[in-house]
Amino acid sequence: ELDRVIKAEISHRGKALRLAKPIIQMLLNKEKR
């Protein structure tokens, strides 16, 4: 039971990171100019 919760949490964080990466890169590019 706990194992399933941990796996779900890890995959959720992975999705959040994938969504955040392009946003972070956009912000970094704006600061460079």
**Residue 31: per-residue pLDDT:** 85
**Residue 3: per-residue pLDDT:** 96
Query: Could you give the CA distance from residue 11 to residue 2 in angstroms, rounded to a whole number?
Result: 14
Structural domain harbouring 32: 1-33
**Residue 10: per-residue pLDDT:** 93
Q: Please count the structural domains in the chain.
A: 1
Which spans in 1-33 are helix H? 2-32
Residue length, the chain? 33
pTM of the model: 0.51
Low-confidence ranges of the chain (pLDDT < 70): none
